Amino acid sequence: MSDQSFDVIVIGGGPGGYIAAIRAAQLGMTVACVEKRGALGGTCLNVGCIPSKALLHSSHLFEQTKAGLANQGVKVSGVELDLATMLVRKDKVVTDLTKGVEFLFKKHKITWLKGAGRLAGNGKVEVKSDGKNDTYTAKNIIIATGSESTPLPGIAIDEQKIVTSTGALALPKVPGHLVVIGAGFIGLEMGSVWRRLGAKVTVIEFLDRILPTMDGEVGREMQKILTKQGLAFRLGTKVTGAKASANGVELTVEPAKGGAAEKLSADVVLVSVGRLPNTEGLGAKEAGIKLDNRGRIEVDGSFRTSVPGIYAIGDVIAGPMLAHKAMDEGEIVAEIIAGQSGHMNYDTVPGIVYTHPEAASVGKTEEELKAAGVNYRAGKFPMSVNSRSRCTGDLEGFVKILADAKTDRVLGVHIIGAQAGTMIAELVLAMEFGASAEDVARTCHGHPTESEAVKEAALAVAGRTLHL
Ligand code: FAD
């Protein structure tokens, strides 16, 4: 038993939790963070954003070196894949970053309580590890327990042949045929990695479009681009079963709207149909914390749960399940606990798909604006006309800016391009400042850069592009 007490105990050491802990410590509070995984950094650093981006980078280099350099006058031969080294490098990137968070905890005198945390009532948190059970007290508790992969009924995950993204980040050999269930960002990123490394990849999606949360035009264009790269799509298709055997996996699929079932075989199946909030074993319900109908912890605009003194942030509450959203919420909740004010603008949370080209979005989609009856103007500029894209050869994609027809205020931006994830940042800032499309158009953009396509798309809102 322990009777240690803290100003703040954070449960979960992912991007939401570790940032909340650091900010609370910076603001002079005594802080502990409970994390049951062997390393800090949560899903994002250990089995999410970071290892996936490391593999996306390495596999892109492999594909470019094998086939993309010759037309630029760079001749290479004998290019071979050394998957073991690629995976070891990915693991090292992860370890370096998770150790970095551990260093930051030491620097800010944050106590890492190793084990599984459980709410024990009256400001108490029970931490269980290796048969030990310690109880700690806190004036404030922040729940940041994140999320985990959504299972599909009737499909047993073994992380060998039927895998979640965690297994897909560590396949010891390139599968002959990888079937990806779910055409969201995780499915497309992991599908791209293994296709580049030599797998045949089929993506099965229940809906009749890919990237369902993004702008419709982005979804359609990305489907064309990824199909050209070799990904096969089966849209409007439901997977009703998958059985692993010594020879691989046999899947049963049928049209989403009903119809004849069909068998498909694969060497590996990736189930990437979304993520579920993680409240398992937390004692949230027993503590009186209200959950919504999707099992997420309900909070108010200041991240307060229904129990005084207990807050929640990140994937375990509503909103886009993204690391930067969790981190911003972590920073804000610590400031609120310290008596400062803070608020999160969910209209300016960017979403990025790290395929090649990348897709990036912020704000409203055209479909959302139409549904809300908003009168808007769209300005669009193709990357193929951008001079820097001509230099690099990355000609696919466009920048699309949606602005209010009357006020010209930027309401949404949707980009496909090799640098889309970086380019979106200026539009996020523009939207934070309530910029008009004209403000963006009159901003001087370096030449030659892909970002000039942003200026041109902003000019296109007023019907006056300069290079088209
Ligand atoms: P998490 O990162 O899930 O962390 C929660 C932590 O809490 C975990 O470490 C868990 O072990 C711990 N925990 C849970 N319960 C307890 C308990 N009772 N006691 C102690 N510890 C507990 N997002 C992006 O923004 N960009 C990307 O490129 C991106 N790529 C992704 C790729 C993949 C393959 C995946 C799976 C996700 C990706 N995400 C990405 C999403 C991102 O990882 C999550 O949105 C983010 O990690 C959420 O942060 P969090 O702090 O809320 O939770």
In this structure, the strands spanning 200-204 and 177-181 are parallel
Neighbours of 262 (CB within 10 A): 12
Return the structure tokens found at 309.
């003194």
pLDDT at 2: 54
Q: Which atom of ligand 1 is nearest to the CA of 146?
A: 53
Give the pLDDT confidence score for residue 46 in this predicted structure: 98
Question: Residue 36: CB within 6 Å of ligand 1?
Answer: yes
Give the pLDDT confidence score for residue 3 in this predicted structure: 57
Q: Who's near 289: CB < 8 A, 6+ residues apart?
A: 119, 143, 297, 298, 305, 306, 307, 310, 312
Question: Coil, strand, or helix at residue 199?
Answer: coil
Name the active-site residue from 108, 414, 445, 447: 447
pLDDT of residue 262: 97
CB of 324 within 6 A of ligand 1: the answer is yes
194 — phi, psi (to 5°)?
-75, -30
CB of 323 shorter than 6 A to ligand 1: yes
Is the distance from CB of 188 to CB of 355 less than 8 angstroms?
yes
Q: Are 254 and 261 in contact (CB under 8 A)?
A: yes
Give yes or no for residue 8 CB within 6 A of ligand 1: no
> Which residues, 6 or more positions from 57, have their beta carbon under 8 angstroms from its beta carbon?
none
Q: How far is the CA of 46 from the centre of ligand 1 (A)?
A: 8
DSSP 122-173: TTEEEEEETTEEEEEEEEEEEE---EEEPP-TTB---SSSEE-HHHHTS-SS
Q: Is the shortest distance between the CB of 20 and ligand 1 below 6 Å?
A: no
Q: What is the CA(101)–ligand 1 centre distance, in A? A: 14
Distance CA 70, CA 76 (A): 7
Residue 52 alpha carbon to ligand 1 centre in Å: 13
User: If you take atom 26 of ligand 1, which residue's CA is the nearest one?
Assistant: 49
What is the pLDDT at residue 154? 87
- CB of 121 within 6 A of ligand 1: the answer is no
Q: Atom 23 in ligand 1: which residue has the minimum CA distance?
A: 322
CB of 279 closer than 6 angstroms to any ligand 1 atom: no
Any atom of ligand 1 within 6 Å of the Cβ of 48: yes
Q: Measure 316 CA to ligand 1 centroid, in angstroms.
A: 9
pLDDT in tens, the chain (468 residues): 455 999 999 999 999 999 999 999 999 999 999 999 999 999 999 999 999 999 999 999 999 999 989 999 999 999 999 999 999 999 999 999 999 999 999 999 999 999 999 999 999 999 999 889 999 999 999 999 999 999 999 899 999 999 999 999 999 999 999 999 999 999 999 999 999 999 999 999 999 999 999 999 999 999 999 999 999 999 999 999 999 999 999 999 999 999 999 999 999 999 999 999 999 999 999 999 999 999 999 999 999 999 999 999 999 999 999 999 999 999 999 999 999 998 999 999 999 999 999 999 999 999 999 999 999 999 999 999 999 999 999 999 999 999 999 999 999 999 999 999 999 999 999 999 999 999 999 999 999 999 999 999 999 999 999 999
Ligand 1 atom at minimum distance from 314 CA: 52
Distance 359 CA to ligand 1 centre (A): 21
Asked if 447 is an active-site residue, the reply is: yes
What is the rounded CA–CA span in Å between residue 278 and residue 219? 29
**What pLDDT is attached to residue 68?**
86
What tokens appear for 362 in the block? 């912020």
